[in-house]
């Protein structure tokens, strides 16, 4: 062949190769060519001391699998490879039988396995060769004139490891061990070279088969990952799937499936976005085959929320996925598969740090401190949330501890904040959750707020999300009955007034404050110090008894701004508006300090208010209005006393906090799926952290004690998207009462029980009655409001135990009094608690009232915890030595001291709650005496003197001692101890209090009220 013809052949061949290369380059995603690092060994990878985990917050910054700059591996941690076994599959076909290699990768604490045929290694090797070739040449494309890639330093270049060339058919079984060693060495060398290790093909489908989020802190190990085809539908939500739960109308989509120890999820490979999270629960199961899935080579994964259908390449592939997932979950997620005590979704968590709260003062402070310590996530769900409430009082640091300011500050620091609010029926409730959502969402993009339910689409009009939760980093969880809302903050004083020394002054026109600096306003305030005072009187009663009085004698020269400077806090958030925009304040100094009123907050310079604007409330007198003006008073605090708020809450840590977070995550993800407006990527799916890392707590609430804790709930399909409803709170109440040996102490907002199987269904009242008849022990039931028929009327009444019921059970309420603008006033203390204590060793704290709405599970959603003591202290029970639980007894003693008065002479009496001396001479006697005095001075309602409406009119018309002789009334009130009052049983006993026919209330189903 001539030289010219030879050249023509070479030219033709080169042109063909060039054309092929051009096509390949044009179709190549240039993101695949991103290269960082060199084709050299990375010694730093072998230094375990430098290992740094990927932070949990990375789950909220997902990227496509081929995107550059993705942190896939743990920094400074090597990847170890082992080929564990070789499986030879026989076949009736004449094609060669493939060998399947089981490969185990270990990276830090993470270990996972993949199965590969030798042809997969060959494809992977060819892909790396192409990648190496492309990375070293200029690439002209239509989008870029020239893309220059980094190159390896010539002196340090090393050849790419070679793959064994021997055909699979030539490898005999006796040579499998050497074959495994060859493949191990090949993969080990590849994974030491950053150029190949960071290539997306190495990470995902070709070799290691992991996503870009495999090594996140607190997500534990990833058992298996891979590409699957998933079928749409299968959610257990009426209306979400068309034509029979998605069996007719569905579509198939390619997704990346990830299996963790307590959940499965799948992702979109192009964006890396998490598309669905399936939690492991007691209904978790896996079925394989066409009969179960209606799909060839199908795999069905069920739980309480969904039936997920996957499609595999072959029956063997489906069995490999199914059996592997089932074995892994059985081994690592067994707690979630188990049917737990009381039917709860959560297990009993031993040695859990827990703490109780009586009233919101300490609760709000600890919640604020925990939020301030948050590093990754804050979860909040409330029946009502008021963004502008102050978490620490009195307010001496400006807005620093205002709830919305705390959340904004943490969001700016990178903490993700997720809030779920009950979406009320606006015609029935005026809590304006839309305003709360709008206010929070405007603060920062890291704050996401959902409202649920949508009443029309879900047909849920009667029931509410009633739980009150705050979860910090899934490690600290606050559970109880206290919403972060107006009117909830209170302390053990239960003040009726909050006038203090704050005086409303009409400014001269020339002095009216404008939009000036805080310091200028403070200076102007000081310049008015010689104005004449508006009120001047002597205290009618002892100031140590008066709640919140503040009859000033002279003006102080107190400036909040100076106070902030003194403590180095003048750079904190600006000082809040204390009154409405139309009013300004001047502070005066009272002759007695706040410390003298036993508030525990120390000397309060200038005595600023505890309740600002809408927070000063009496909802019996007037419902909240204009919630978009938070600092404007809506009742006159100079004429109307506030209604004090008595409440109980708790905090738990570790695994119990993980369980609370899991409930929140289930609700959040369910709401995201159910409501189309939340399906965008701006509302991410949430992932539960592993129980295995629950002990790694960066923050602990002070003064917590160890106990066994179990999380309880009321949940159903409408509230959490689960197949079967859960009423573990109800079951726990019944069980604890049945098994109590000495006493039961209950504080609750409602007591609607004693089942008649028609209107009321919960069994708590019946259980109490049976327990009294069986044991003849003393039981305390302490509540605010109830149905009188349940207590004392009819065959199903609680007092059907006979005339001696007074020896076994006591019903009480709380009431207090104060002086307001020179007049004595009284008001009920609103008992909002949801508390049960039994035998000084068992406690239930939560959001559930004693009624069907809270207890039956299918209605309102609720959360609670049951705490059983493991640490004991010496005590007395029924006159005998007794080992009381540290948590339970300390809570009971605190409750008793608050309601009975904290005098020192009661300490010995309170130790034995079932002795005759305490029950009759202290508890019953105090409640009866206080009630008699209040009736004598104020003629309070409700009252046993009023059994019908005619008597009610006469009762109201009669004059009161407080108006006839204020001095004598004051002397009588000095005899009152604490707040405890006997609850009347006969109030309006002769009246039918059901709504009249034709009224809008009569059209509401009876279940709403029970």
Q: C-alpha distances in angstroms, 971 versus 297, 545, 783, 933?
A: 86, 12, 28, 10
pLDDT at 647 over 90: yes
What does the alpha-carbon distance between residue 938 and residue 969 come to, in Å, rounded to a whole number?
A: 9
What does the alpha-carbon distance between residue 863 and residue 383 come to, in Å, rounded to a whole number?
A: 12
Cis, bond preceding 534 (omega within 30 deg of 0): no
**pLDDT: is 10 or 877 the higher one?**
877
Least confident of 297-301, 387-391, 416-420, 562-566: 562-566
**pLDDT: is 817 or 32 the higher one?**
817
pLDDT at 568 over 60: no
- CA 967 to chain CA centroid, Å, is 51
Per-residue pLDDT tens for 224-262? 778 889 998 888 775 554 444 445 678 898 988 888 889
* pLDDT given for residue 210 in this prediction: 60
* pLDDT given for residue 1008 in this prediction: 76
User: Which class does domain 353-497+643-687 fall in?
Assistant: alpha beta
**pLDDT: is 399 or 239 the higher one?**
399
What does the alpha-carbon distance between residue 429 and residue 623 come to, in Å, rounded to a whole number?
A: 9
pLDDT-derived band at 869, boundaries 50, 70, 90: very high
The model carries a pTM of 0.81
Residues paired with residue 85 on neighbouring β-strands, in sequence order: 102
What does the alpha-carbon distance between residue 302 and residue 643 come to, in Å, rounded to a whole number?
A: 49
Cβ density class 435-463: b for 16+ within 10 Å, e for less: ebbebbeebbebbbbbbbbeeeebebeeb
3-class secondary structure, 904:
helix
Q: Give the pair of three-digit tokens for residue 692.
A: 């295995």
Per-residue pLDDT tens for 157-216? 457 777 777 666 666 665 667 777 888 888 888 777 777 766 766 666 555 556 656 677
| Residues contacting residue 64 through CB under 8 Å, at least 6 positions apart | 269, 270, 271, 272
Q: C-alpha distances in angstroms, 950 versus 789, 792, 935, 986, 993?
A: 20, 22, 19, 14, 14
Kindly state the average pLDDT of the residues 661-674: 94
Kindly state the average pLDDT of the residues 850-861: 91
pLDDT-derived band at 407, boundaries 50, 70, 90: very high
pLDDT-derived band at 36, boundaries 50, 70, 90: very low
SS3 percent helix, strand, coil of the chain, rounded to 5, is 35, 20, 45
User: Which class does domain 218-237+248-343 fall in?
Assistant: mainly beta
* pLDDT given for residue 603 in this prediction: 35
User: Taking the CB of residue 908, how many other CB atoms lie within 10 A of it?
Assistant: 11
* pLDDT given for residue 627 in this prediction: 87
**pLDDT: is 358 or 947 the higher one?**
358
pLDDT at 351 over 90: yes
User: Which class does domain 73-206 fall in?
Assistant: alpha beta
| Residues contacting residue 960 through CB under 8 Å, at least 6 positions apart | 937, 938, 939
Residue with tokens 């302390």: 491
* pLDDT given for residue 503 in this prediction: 41
Least confident of 297-301, 564-568, 782-786, 827-831: 564-568
What does the alpha-carbon distance between residue 291 and residue 300 come to, in Å, rounded to a whole number?
A: 11
Task: Say if CB 544 and CB 598 are below 8 A apart.
Answer: yes
* pLDDT given for residue 136 in this prediction: 65
Kindly state the average pLDDT of the residues 427-436: 85
Kindly state the average pLDDT of the residues 718-742: 93
Task: Say if CB 404 and CB 380 are below 8 A apart.
Answer: no
Kindly state the average pLDDT of the residues 700-713: 96
Q: Give the pair of three-digit tokens for residue 281.
A: 């629960």
pLDDT-derived band at 552, boundaries 50, 70, 90: very low
pLDDT at 269 over 90: no
* pLDDT given for residue 545 in this prediction: 42
- CA 846 to chain CA centroid, Å, is 13
3-class secondary structure, 470:
strand
Cβ density class 296-317: b for 16+ within 10 Å, e for less: ebbbbbbbbbbbbbbbbeeeeb
* pLDDT given for residue 754 in this prediction: 73
User: Taking the CB of residue 145, how many other CB atoms lie within 10 A of it?
Assistant: 9
Per-residue pLDDT tens for 631-640? 888 899 889 9
Task: Say if CB 379 and CB 428 are below 8 A apart.
Answer: no
Query: If we measure between CA atoms, which residue out of 823, 791, 827, 795 comes closest to residue 806?
Result: 791
Least confident of 230-234, 397-401, 565-569, 799-803: 565-569
With vertex at residue 81, the alpha carbon angle to CA 77 and CA 84, rounded to the nearest 5 degrees, is: 145
Question: Using CA atoms in the order 543, 549, 552, 555, what is the torsion angle rounded to 10 degrees?
Answer: 120
What does the alpha-carbon distance between residue 589 and residue 765 come to, in Å, rounded to a whole number?
A: 51
Classify residue 452 as left (phi > 0), alpha (psi -120 to 50) or beta: beta
* pLDDT given for residue 700 in this prediction: 94
Query: If we measure between CA atoms, which residue out of 618, 608, 854 comes closest to residue 730?
Result: 854
- CA 431 to chain CA centroid, Å, is 20
Q: What percent of the chain has pLDDT over 70?
A: 70
Task: Say if CB 644 and CB 617 are below 8 A apart.
Answer: no
3-class secondary structure, 704:
coil
Kindly state the average pLDDT of the residues 269-274: 82
* pLDDT given for residue 543 in this prediction: 41
Q: What percent of the chain has pLDDT over 90?
A: 36
pLDDT at 148 over 70: no
pLDDT-derived band at 682, boundaries 50, 70, 90: confident
3-class secondary structure, 747:
strand
Residue with tokens 């419902």: 623
pLDDT-derived band at 818, boundaries 50, 70, 90: very high
pLDDT at 839 over 60: yes
For 884, the enclosing helix (H) or strand (E) is strand 880-885
What does the alpha-carbon distance between residue 834 and residue 747 come to, in Å, rounded to a whole number?
A: 6
pLDDT at 510 over 50: no
pLDDT at 901 over 80: yes
3-class secondary structure, 656:
helix
Least confident of 147-151, 259-263, 491-495, 975-979: 147-151
Instruction: Output the DSSP codes for 801-837.
Output: T-GGGGGTEEEEEEEEEEEETTEEEEEE-EE--EEEE
839 φ, ψ (degrees, to nearest 5): 60, 20
Per-residue pLDDT tens for 618-630? 988 888 888 888 8
pLDDT at 708 over 60: yes
pLDDT-derived band at 268, boundaries 50, 70, 90: confident
Per-residue pLDDT tens for 572-610? 333 333 333 333 333 333 333 332 333 344 333 444 689
What is the residue extent of each domain of the chain? 73-206, 218-237+248-343, 353-497+643-687
Per-residue pLDDT tens for 58-97? 778 776 665 655 666 666 677 788 888 777 665 555 555 5
Instruction: Output the DSSP codes for 666-683.
Output: HHHHHHHHH-GGG-STTS
692 burial type by CB count under 10 A (0-12 exposed, 13-18 middle, 19+ buried): middle
Q: In what side-by-side order are the strands of the sheet with 99-107?
A: 79-88, 99-107, 110-117
Residues paired with residue 843 on neighbouring β-strands, in sequence order: 837, 867
* pLDDT given for residue 437 in this prediction: 94
What does the alpha-carbon distance between residue 620 and residue 487 come to, in Å, rounded to a whole number?
A: 12
820 burial type by CB count under 10 A (0-12 exposed, 13-18 middle, 19+ buried): buried
Query: If we measure between CA atoms, which residue out of 554, 452, 450, 453 comes closest to residue 501?
Result: 554
Q: Give the pair of three-digit tokens for residue 728.
A: 């573990």
Kindly state the average pLDDT of the residues 459-466: 83
């Amino acid at each position: 062949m001539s030289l010219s013809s030879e050249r023509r052949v070479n030219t033709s061949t080169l042109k063909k190769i060039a054309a092929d290369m051009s096509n390949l380059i044009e179709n190549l995603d240039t993101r695949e060519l991103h290269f960082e690092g060199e084709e050299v060994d990375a010694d730093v990878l072998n230094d375990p001391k430098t290992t740094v985990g990927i932070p949990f917050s990375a789950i909220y910054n997902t990227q496509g699998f081929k995107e550059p700059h993705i942190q896939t591996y743990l920094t400074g941690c090597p990847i170890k490879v082992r080929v564990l076994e070789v499986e030879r599959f026989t076949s009736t076909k004449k094609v060669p039988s493939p060998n399947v290699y089981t490969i185990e990768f270990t990276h830090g604490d993470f270990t996972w396995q993949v199965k590969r045929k030798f042809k997969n290694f060959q494809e992977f090797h060819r892909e790396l060769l192409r990648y190496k070739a492309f990375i070293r040449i200029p690439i002209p494309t239509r989008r870029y004139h020239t893309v220059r890639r980094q190159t390896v330093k010539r002196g340090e270049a090393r050849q790419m490891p070679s793959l064994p060339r021997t055909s699979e058919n030539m490898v005999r079984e006796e040579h499998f061990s050497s074959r495994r060693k060859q493949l191990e060495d090949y993969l080990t060398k590849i994974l030491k070279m950053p150029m190949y290790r960071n290539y997306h093909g190495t990470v995902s489908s070709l070799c290691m088969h992991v996503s870009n989020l495999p090594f996140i802190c607190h997500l534990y190990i990833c058992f298996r990952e891979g590409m699957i085809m998933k079928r749409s539908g299968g959610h257990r939500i009426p209306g979400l799937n068309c034509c029979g739960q998605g069996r007719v109308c569905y579509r198939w989509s390619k997704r990346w499936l990830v299996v963790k120890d307590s959940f499965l999820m799948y992702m979109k490979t192009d964006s890396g976005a998490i598309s669905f999270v399936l939690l492991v629960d007691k209904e978790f199961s896996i079925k394989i085959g066409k009969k179960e899935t209606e799909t060839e080579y199908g795999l069905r994964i069920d739980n309480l929320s969904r039936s997920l259908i996957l499609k595999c390449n072959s029956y063997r592939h489906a069995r490999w996925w199914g059996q592997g997932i089932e074995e892994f979950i059985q081994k690592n997620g067994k707690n979630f598969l188990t049917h737990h005590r009381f039917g709860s979704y959560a297990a009993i968590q031993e040695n859990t740090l827990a703490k109780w709260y009586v009233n919101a003062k300490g609760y709000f402070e600890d919640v604020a401190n925990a939020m301030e310590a948050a590093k990754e996530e804050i979860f909040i769900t409330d029946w009502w949330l008021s963004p502008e409430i102050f978490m620490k009082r009195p307010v001496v640091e400006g807005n620093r501890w205002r709830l919305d300011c705390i959340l904004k500050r943490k969001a700016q620091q990178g903490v993700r904040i997720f809030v779920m609010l009950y979406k009320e029926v606006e015609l029935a409730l005026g809590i304006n959750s839309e305003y709360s959502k709008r206010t929070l969402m405007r603060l920062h993009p890291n704050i996401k707020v959902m409202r649920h339910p949508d009443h029309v689409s879900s047909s849920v009009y009667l029931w509410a999300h009633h739980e009150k939760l705050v979860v910090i980093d899934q490690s600290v969880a606050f559970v109880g009955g206290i919403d972060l809302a107006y009117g909830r903050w209170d302390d053990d004083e239960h003040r009726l007034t909050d006038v203090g020394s704050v005086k409303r002054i009409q400014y001269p026109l020339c002095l009216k404050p404008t939009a000036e600096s805080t310091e200028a306003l403070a200076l102007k305030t000081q310049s008015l110090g010689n104005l004449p005072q508006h009120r001047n009187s002597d205290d009618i009663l002892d100031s140590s008894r008066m709640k919140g009085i503040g009859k000033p004698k002279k003006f102080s020269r107190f400036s909040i701004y100076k106070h902030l400077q003194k403590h180095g806090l003048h750079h904190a958030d600006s000082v809040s508006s204390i009154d409405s925009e139309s009013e300004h304040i001047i502070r005066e100094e009272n002759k007695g300090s706040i410390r003298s009123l036993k508030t525990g907050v120390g000397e309060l310079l200038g005595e600023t208010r505890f309740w600002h604007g809408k927070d000063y409330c009496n909802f019996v007198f007037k419902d909240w209005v204009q919630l978009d003006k938070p600092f404007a008073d809506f009742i006159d605090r100079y004429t109307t006393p506030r209604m004090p708020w008595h409440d109980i809450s708790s905090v738990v840590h570790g695994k119990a906090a993980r369980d609370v977070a899991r409930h929140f995550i289930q609700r959040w993800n369910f709401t995201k799926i159910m409501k189309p407006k939340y399906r965008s990527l701006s509302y991410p799916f949430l992932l539960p952290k592993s129980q295995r890392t629950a002990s790694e707590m960066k923050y602990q609430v002070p003064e917590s004690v160890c106990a066994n804790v179990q999380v309880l709930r009321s949940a159903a399909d409408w509230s959490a998207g689960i197949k079967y409803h859960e009423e573990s709170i109800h079951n726990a109440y019944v069980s604890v009462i049945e098994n109590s040996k000495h006493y039961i102490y209950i504080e609750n907002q409602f007591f609607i029980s004693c089942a008649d199987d028609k209107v009321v269904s919960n069994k708590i009242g019946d259980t109490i009655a049976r327990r009294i008849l069986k044991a003849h022990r003393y039981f305390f039931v302490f509540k605010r409001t109830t149905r009188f028929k349940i207590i004392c009327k009819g065959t199903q009444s609680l007092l059907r135990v006979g005339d001696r019921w007074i020896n076994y059970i006591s019903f009480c309420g709380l009431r207090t009094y104060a002086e307001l603008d020179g007049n004595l006033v009284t008001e009920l203390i609103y008992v909002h608690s949801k508390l049960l204590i039994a035998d000084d060793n068992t406690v239930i704290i939560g959001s559930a009232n004693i009624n069907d709405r809270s207890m039956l599970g299918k209605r309102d959603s609720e959360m609670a915890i049951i705490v059983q003591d493991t640490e004991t202290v010496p005590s007395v029970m029924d006159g005998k030595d007794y080992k009381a639980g540290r948590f339970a007894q300390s809570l009971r003693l605190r409750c008793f001291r608050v309601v009975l008065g904290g005098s020192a002479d009661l300490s010995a009496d309170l130790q034995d709650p079932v002795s005759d001396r305490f029950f009759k001479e202290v508890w019953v006697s105090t409640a009866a005496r206080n009630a008699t005095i209040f009736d004598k001075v104020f003629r309070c309602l409700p009252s046993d003197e009023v059994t019908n409406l005619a008597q009610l009119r006469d009762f109201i018309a009669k004059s009161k001692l407080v108006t006839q002789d204020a001095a004598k009334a004051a002397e009588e009130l000095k005899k009152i101890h604490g707040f405890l009052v006997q609850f009347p049983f006969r109030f309006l006993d002769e009246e039918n209090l059901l709504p009249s026919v034709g009224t809008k209330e009569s059209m509401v189903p009876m279940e709403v009220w029970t």
